[in-house]
Chain A
């Protein structure tokens, strides 16, 4: 089995079960998988667990191998994780940050990254994301959107087979969102396993090959966007009354009419 499999995953943070015994159907390479769900559904936690940044119980396997059993250096070459948008206070230049990303994993990525070839690979990654002109800029001088594109380049430069993107378009305008999501889909088409957390269901509907909806740390539903996105689901999971409309080319559109069952933050759903 080539893809990513998750069984019995439980993640506890600050004594709360953020993810509770989650089983996911296998996530295969070649398709762009989008994780969606309301706030605090456990999407980022799931992604960070897969990236081995958070401790968890249960099993996460890639190509049949338990990720925890793989030595760190080798594992780093397998997983490319783009954390949620965060500003950087570092004065490293964008180009240097990519070269560091290339070296520090050790393993194959580290050994390949000799002097000039590292620079060329870094520039190629920046070029693919469309920000080559930022190469010499310090990270601390980038805008939120620029930082997000650079963060994607930091993942691409390592060329990992499993790519995890946590809200990769949250700070981007329409053109750049389109660019990032088409890169994500192209990476999937190249045979990589790509999982992206997206809040915007219009984006999810437009780009996902497969949509997984999380709610309260469990899988609510999975399938193609047109199978998954139904008014009943939006009401149950997101607490909105919404219509699903078809646009001219059959694209799914989500139109929200209002919030239902408004309840205080932190209260469990009925």
Chain B
């Protein structure tokens, strides 16, 4: 190949990947619409469009269904997927481990423990409205988990392995404590807690959605600004440091973003597995490891996955809304296996 041919082919590849990001965005939007259109009420497209156009202030049944049930759920699904998947991508890159994600490193388990403390023991942040108690606890506990992870690993001066092992330790500790909380819980609280840990969009509210959107809007610009550095880190931390990159600082700020993103998402909807793992891998398969494309791609891939899972949660068993966490794991697992198998074949 001549230099000109290489450059032409390189540019074609870049264009194709940029289009794939657009395609993922469109697919996520399509899945959100599908989510909006599916449900037990059997509304037609026209009815949904009319209800959307009229706005939330009317008392028509259709309008209430669309504005207070369907749209919050659909938007929440998109946001939760986007946040978890972005958090997963950043975590996998800065910890240089394809299995790192908020779920595997104890963020979800800690959030669940926080929720358990609120639901079973009734302990929460004083002065908060009642419906925020569980989420606030979950958020604080997940931040605490990542804070602890960060503190201990920086004291130890450890590398990525230390962080991952600590994360796994926190995961098991939180799970054990949660089991203890469950053991002493009243049957009523236990049921609520079990439902919470299965992950659900049913409690979708606009104030929570606004909070997630805010967290995403606050984190994404910083993620994108670090895109080059994260791409350089893929060449190995030694090399990246030799390029003048402060890897420890990059890692620290990425983990702060991950805490906010994952903590916010999990605290609102409960434990949702596999999106933080499958979203990033799907995005990486589509657009490669240039983080300028990978970060937006994983946002859209995560949104697509949870939207589809939300649709499936309504459709799988007619008349029953399955917990989202169960569905994402069921949808995510085959994708994950497929990924492992195809990657294994390529090497």
Asked if A73 CB lies within 8 Å of chain B CBs, one says yes
Chain B at the A interface: SS class: helix
Closest 7 CB pairs of A and B: A76-B244, A81-B242, A104-B232, A90-B234, A83-B238, A105-B244, A135-B6
17 A-B pairs whose Cβ atoms sit less than 8 Å apart in the complex:
A48-B238, A72-B246, A73-B244, A76-B242, A80-B242, A90-B235, A90-B289, A93-B288, A97-B235, A100-B232, A101-B232, A104-B232, A106-B244, A107-B244, A119-B7, A132-B1, A154-B235
Q: Are the CB atoms of A88 and B7 closer together than 8 Å?
A: no
B242 touches A53 (CB 8 A): yes
A60 to chain B, nearest CB (A): 14
Judge if B257 is at the interface, Cβ distance under 8 Å. Answer: no
Residues of chain A with a CB closer than 8 A to B16's CB: none
For the complex formed, measure the closest distance between the CB of B9 and the CB atoms of chain A, giving whole angstroms: 6
Whether A93 pairs with B235 at a CB distance below 8 angstroms is: no
Instruction: Knowing A77-B244, A123-B6, say if A91 contacts B232 (CB, 8 Å).
Output: no
Is A88's CB under 8 angstroms from B236's CB?
yes
**Chain B residue contacts of A139, Cβ below 8 A:** 235
Interface hits, B216-258 → A, CB 8 Å:
228-229, 231-232, 234-236, 238-246
Q: Is the CB of B244 within 8 A of A88?
A: no
Range of interface residues on B (Cβ < 8 Å): 20 to 34
Does the CB pair A136–B235 fall under 8 Å?
no
**Could you say which of A75, A96, A132 contacts B244, with CB atoms under 8 Å apart?**
A75
A83 touching B236 in the complex, CB below 8 Å, given contacts A92-B288, A105-B244 = yes
Query: A95–B10 Cα gap in the complex (Å)?
Result: 8
Q: Is A182 an interface residue (CB 8 A)?
A: no
Kindly identify which residue among A91, A105, A120, A151 contacts B289, using a CB–CB cutoff of 8 Å: A91
The answer on a CB contact under 8 Å between A93 and B244 is no
Which residues 214-246 of A have a CB within 8 angstroms of B? none
Q: Are B241 and A104 closer than 8 Å at their CB atoms? A: no
A133 touches B242 (CB 8 A): no
Q: Which residues of A contact B289 (CB under 8 A)?
A: 90-92
Best-buried of B3, B13, B235 by chain A (most CB within 10 Å): B235
Nearest Cβ on chain A to B292's Cβ, whole angstroms: 10
Using C-beta atoms within 8 Å of the partner chain, give the interface range for chain A. Answer: 35 or more
- CB pair B242–A51 under 8 Å, yes or no, is yes
Q: For chain A residues 64-99, which have a beta carbon within 8 Å of chain B?
A: 72-73, 75-77, 79-81, 83, 86, 88, 90-93, 95-97
Q: Which residue of A lies closest to B11 (CB)?
A: A119
Is A53 a contact of B232 with CB atoms below 8 Å?
A: no
Q: Please measure, in the bound complex, the distance between the C-alpha atom of A93 and the C-alpha atom of B240, giving whole angstroms.
A: 16
Give Cα A52 to B242, complex, Å: 7
| Alpha-carbon distance between A31 and B139 when the two chains are bound, in angstroms | 59
Interface residues of A in 120-144 (CB under 8 A from B): 120, 123, 127, 132-133, 135-136, 139-140
**Cβ contacts under 8 Å, A123 to chain B:** 3, 6-7
Task: State which of A88, A120, A133 has its C-beta within 8 Å of the C-beta of B235.
Answer: A88
Interchain CA distance A9-B234 in the complex, whole Å: 31
Q: Is the CB of B228 within 8 A of A100?
A: yes
| Residue numbers in B under 8 Å from A80 (CB-CB) | 242
Query: A103 interface residue, CB < 8 Å from B?
Result: yes
- Whether B238 contacts A53 by the Cβ 8 Å rule is yes
Please give me the residue from chain A that is nearest to B290 by CB atom. A96
- Cα distance A91–B235 in the bound complex, in angstroms: 10
Judge whether B10 and A93 touch: CB under 8 Å: yes
Partner of B243, one of A76, A132, A135: A76
Contact assessment for A105 and B235 in the assembled complex, using a CB-CB cutoff below 8 Å: no
Q: What chain A residues lie within 8 Å of B242 (beta carbons)?
A: 51-53, 76, 79-81, 83
Kindly state the separation between the CA atoms of A81 and B288 in the bound complex, as whole angstroms: 26
Chain A residues with CB under 8 A of B290: 92, 96, 100
Instruction: Check B240 against A119 for contact (C-beta < 8 Å).
Output: no
Q: How far is the CB of B160 from chain A (nearest CB, A)?
A: 13
Kindly list chain A residues whose C-beta atoms are within 8 Å of the C-beta of B131.
none
